[in-house]
């Protein structure tokens, strides 16, 4: 990984972590004071800000003692660091950076508070659809994972196209009686 790409990965992580912690602190201050409203609409009744806490894991699912959640987060963070520092792609560096910032944000909450602060409440009542309440860290993690999947899909399509073009060039060269050197 180049120095510029590494710096970009680190600053992206720091930026995501900062935004996550800033929003959680603002939300905590807004909703824990006496007389605070239970929720604040952002986009009608579809997207609201509602303060809630999550002492468990992903989507509030409890799977073992709290130490298990911490261990799994630390393992995940280690893997993101490994792949993030190893990548040669700007897009992947950005994706791993926001994943790392989000994961660190939730880990800080768990160490500092014993739970994660969630506040983005998404619901479409006519469809009887309500998503789990989440935070920016969760959004960063999901967006980062989607970017990695998108990158891998596009890379796979490009690689397949290049391989097909090389095979066609080889076939054309063979048909015309030319020697063709295949670097693969």
Annotated catalytic residues are 118, 138
The CA distance from 19 to 160, in Å, is 39
| Residue 159, both tokens | 């690689």
Q: Are 55 and 66 a contacting pair, CB within 8 Å? A: yes
Q: Is 84 exposed, middle or buried (0-12, 13-18, 19+ CB in 10 A)?
A: buried
Distance set, CA 150 to CA 18, 91, 164 (Å): 26, 10, 21
């Amino acid at each position: 990984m180049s120095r510029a790409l590494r710096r970009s990965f680190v600053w992206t992580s720091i930026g995501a972590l900062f935004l996550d912690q800033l929003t959680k602190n603002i939300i905590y201050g807004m909703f824990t004071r006496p007389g605070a409203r239970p929720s604040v609409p952002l986009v009608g009744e579809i997207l609201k800000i509602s303060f809630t806490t999550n002492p468990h894991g992903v989507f509030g699912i409890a799977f073992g003692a709290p130490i298990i959640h911490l261990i799994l987060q630390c393992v995940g963070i280690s893997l993101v660091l490994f792949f993030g520092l190893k990548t040669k792609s700007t897009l992947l560096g950005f994706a791993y950076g926001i994943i790392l910032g989000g994961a660190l944000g939730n880990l800080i909450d768990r160490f500092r508070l014993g739970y994660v602060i969630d506040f983005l409440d998404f619901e479409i009542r006519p469809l009887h659809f309500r998503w789990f309440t989440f935070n920016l860290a969760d959004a960063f993690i999901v967006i980062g994972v989607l970017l990695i999947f998108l990158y891998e899909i596009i890379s796979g399509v490009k690689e397949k196209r290049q391989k097909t073009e090389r095979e066609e060039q080889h076939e054309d060269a063979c048909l015309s009686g030319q020697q063709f050197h295949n670097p693969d």
